[in-house]
Amino acid sequence: MDDIRRAAAYAERVCGNYERKLRAHGVRLQGCAYLEIGPGRDFGAALLMKDRGALVTVADRFLEPWDDAYHPALYRELLARVGRSPALERVLDQAGCHGVIELASAPAEDLGVLPDVVFDVVVSTAVLEHVYDRRAAAREMRRVSKPGAIHLHHVDFRDHRDFARPLEFLLLSRWAFGRMAGRKRTCGCQTRSQELTQIFEEVGYVVDEAKISNTADEAYLDDFIPRLRRIWFSRYRRWSREDLRVLGMHYWLRA
């Protein structure tokens, strides 16, 4: 039950963060064509955005199927937290999200099931660090966006195997990292925030804001950086301490 409560609280928090940021920048949610990339195990945040009037689509390489042992309990808990939600009520009544929001089984790098120039808003939370090809994902997200569309992306650049040692995977070669990361890339990505910012700009986005959300512990950097400097094949060997310390970033982009 604790997992259900945490998941419901997370969905409510993510929706609230998106809503506040979008409204602060003058985005009208009613009738807004809204795409969430990589919603994860549930579609709670997307369903709450549906209640705000957005026309919601979610896209995921591993789109989560309905689970009778998990989703009803989660959505009931989320409904209890928010008080009223036509979207959640309908999903619970029909035991599924079809017809409430659009579901696209597609990776961020290949959103071919979605047409060009459709979305006003594209969002993701802790997703882009898990895709195979961030440049391809950036191109695809821009392809499906209307000119001037708003993008909100939070990216977690930590080594997900051990958040207390968040840069250890930078000691691996690209080949060794790829072999270790496997199909689902659950450990995150070696790509650093500055490189992702450059990708966004090269693909054609305007980066309105790139705000650091998390940094490495100074004592850990004291231990890690000398070890990194000895890895002759690492492309990060000569990176500055300030560049290496960035572990999380909030991006505000315009397509």
- pLDDT tens-digit map of 211-221: 999 999 999 99
* pLDDT above 80 (res 1): no
Percent of the chain surpassing pLDDT 70: 99
pLDDT at 186: 86
Q: What is the pLDDT of residue 123?
A: 98
pLDDT value at 25 more than 90: no
Of 185, 149, 56, 61, nearest to 111 by C-alpha is 61
Q: What are the Cα distances from residue 225, in Å, to 147, 190, 236?
A: 42, 15, 10
pLDDT at 124: 97
Q: What is the pLDDT of residues 160-189, one digit of tens each?
A: 999 999 999 999 998 888 888 776 678 899
Note the pLDDT of residue 217: 96
Helix-strand-coil percent breakdown of the chain, rounded to 5? 40, 20, 40
Q: Considering only CA atoms, which of 49, 90, 95 is closest in space to residue 72? A: 95
At 169 the pLDDT is: 96
**Bridge partners, 59 (sequence order):** 37, 104
Q: How far is Cα 18 from Cα 23, in angstroms, rounded to an integer?
A: 8
Q: Is the pLDDT of residue 96 over 70?
A: yes
φ, ψ for residue 99 (rounded to 5)?
Answer: 90, -15
Which value, in Å, is the radius of gyration of the alpha carbons in the chain? 19
Domains observed in the chain: 1-105 (3.40.50), 113-255 (3.40.50.150)
How many percent of the chain have pLDDT more than 90? 91
The partner residues of 101 in beta bridges, in order of sequence, read 98
pLDDT at residue number 150 = 97
152 phi and psi angles, rounded to 5 deg? -120, 120
pTM: 0.94
Q: What is residue 185's predicted lDDT score, i.e. its pLDDT?
A: 74
Tens digit of each residue's pLDDT (9 = 90 or more) over 116-147: 999 999 999 999 999 999 999 999 999 999 99
- Strand, coil or helix: what is 156? strand
How are beta strands 33-37 and 55-60 bridged, if at all? parallel
pLDDT at site 241: 97
Residue-wise pLDDT for 56-77, tens only, equals 999 999 899 999 999 999 999 9
pLDDT of residue 183: 66
CB 242 within 8 A of CB 194: no
Average pLDDT of the chain?
95
Identify the pLDDT of residue 79.
96
Q: Measured between alpha carbons, how far is 58 from 98 in angstroms, rounded to an integer?
A: 11
